[in-house]
Amino acid sequence: MHDNLTSARPSVPPPHGHAVRLRAAAAFKAAAPALGAYAVVRVTGLVVFWVAASLAGKDALKLLGGRWDSVWYQRIAEHGYRYTATLPDGSVHSDLAFFPLLPALERAIAEVTPLTVRGAGITVAWAAGLLAAWGIFAVGARLHGRRTGVVLAALWGAYPTAFVQSMAYTETLFTALAAWALYAVLRDRWIVAGGLCVLAGLTRPSAAALVAALAVTALAVLVREYRAGDRKGLVRRHARMLAGVCLAPLGWLAYVVFVAVREDSPFAYFEVQAAWGNSIDGGRALAAFIVGLPLPAALGLCVALGLLGWLVALCVRQRQPLPVLVYAIAVVVISLIGSGYFGSRPRLMMPAFPLLLPPAVALLRLRTTARTATAVGVLALASAAYGAWTLLGSGPP
C-alpha cells in the first residue's frame, strides 16, 4: 500500500535553478563537437605560429598580446582615455577611437587575478572565441542541423585572418555577442538580443550592422502583418520586439555621446575616426587602392572581391533568415565603404560568419565525414601558415 501511494503522487518539477542548469548542460553537450572542432583548428594555428616565432627568435605571447591595436586597448585599461599620438605628417591619433568593453574586461580581470593586462586581453580573446564558436554553432544548427553547425564553427576558426581570434583584439568578442544576438532573434527573444547588441555597441562600431539586422527584421514583421490586415493591437502585440530594437543601439550611442561630452563637440567621435583615416567614403579609397596596384595584383583583388560577391549571392539563394542575411551583408558593406587601411578589411569582415554557411553546407555534401574533416584540416593549415606569416611581419592585420 505504501508503495502504491508513493507511486501515485504527482511528480514535482525541479526547482527553476536546477532546470536552468540542466538546459545549460544539455546545450553544452550538443555544442561540444563544435567547440572541440573549433579548438583543434585554433590550436593548430597557434602551434604553427609558435614554431615559426621560435625559429624567428621572437616572443609569441608578445606578438599576440602586445602589438598594434592591442597596445591601445591595454593602455586604456591601465590609464583610461587620455593618450594621443602625433604622427610625422601632423595627424593626431586619439585612443577615443577604441571602444571601452574590451579594456574594461582586461582591467577587471587583471585586478582580480594574477594576470597582467596583456594576459587578461589574450584570455578574453580565447574565451570569447569559444563563446563565438558556440553561438555560431547554435545559429548553424538551428538553420541547417547540428552537423552544419559544427562545420560552420570550424570554418570560422579557419578563416584566413582567424589568427586575430587569438589576439587581444575586439573582433572575437564582438562575433560572440553578435552570434548569440542573432540566435536570440531566431528564438524570438528580442530583449536578450537587444541587450547583447548594447554590449556589442560598446565593443566595435560595426555593431551598426547588428542594430540594422534587428531593425530591418522588426520592420518586415510589422509591415507583413499590417498588409495582411492584422492591424489591431499590432504595436502592443510586438512590444517586446520593439523594446529590443530600441535597446539595441544604446551601447554605441552611449559611447558616441561620451566622446562628444569628453571633447565638447557633438561630432567628436566621427572627427576622431576621421583623424585615423576611418571615415566613410562610399568605397572611393578601395577603388583608388585597386587602381594603384600592379595589374596582376589588381586583377587578383578583383577576383577576390568577385568571390566575396558570389558568397553573398549564395547566402541570398540559400534563403537565410532576414536578420542573419542583413547582418552579414551590412558587415561586408561597412568593411568596404570605409577609407581605412586596406589590409584590415579582411579582419573587419571576419565577424560576418553567415557568409560561411554555403561552404559549410557544401562541405557536408562530401560523401564521408573523413573527407569533410580533411577539407577543413587543409583550410586550417593554410590559415595557420598565413597567420604565422602575417604575425611575423611588420604591418598590422
Which of the four pLDDT bands, split at 50, 70 and 90, describes residue 92?
Answer: confident
Give residue 372's domain range: 29-391
Q: How many domains does the chain have?
A: 1
Which of the four pLDDT bands, split at 50, 70 and 90, describes residue 3?
Answer: very low
28-83: per-residue pLDDT in tens? 899 999 999 999 999 999 999 999 999 999 988 888 887 889 999 999 999 999 99
Residue 201 lies in a domain: yes
Residue 178 lies in a domain: yes
Residue 17 lies in a domain: no
The pTM for the full model equals 0.92
Residue 259 lies in a domain: yes
What are phi and psi for residue 381, nearest 5 degrees?
A: -65, -40
Residue 3 lies in a domain: no
Q: Cα 29 vs. chain centroid, distance in angstroms?
A: 23
379-382 contacts: CB < 8 A, separation 24 or more? 379/155, 379/158, 380/40, 380/41, 380/44, 380/45, 380/154, 380/157, 380/158, 381/44, 381/48, 382/158, 382/160
Residue 13 lies in a domain: no
Q: Which of 70, 56, 179, 100 is nearest to 397 (CA)?
A: 70
Taking residues 1-22, what's their average pLDDT?
55
The letter for the amino acid at 286 is L
175-221: per-residue pLDDT in tens? 999 999 999 999 999 999 999 999 999 999 999 999 999 999 999 99
Helix (H, G, I), strand (E, B) or coil at 94: strand
CA distances from 49 to 382, 383, 395 (A): 12, 11, 16
Q: Which of 197, 173, 207, 170 is nearest to 73 (CA)?
A: 170
259-267 contacts: CB < 8 A, separation 24 or more? 259/96, 262/81, 262/96, 263/96
Reply yes or no on whether the pLDDT at 320 is more than 90. Answer: yes
Reply yes or no on whether the pLDDT at 8 is more than 70. Answer: no
Residue 13 has a pLDDT of 56
Q: Cα 103 vs. chain centroid, distance in angstroms?
A: 17
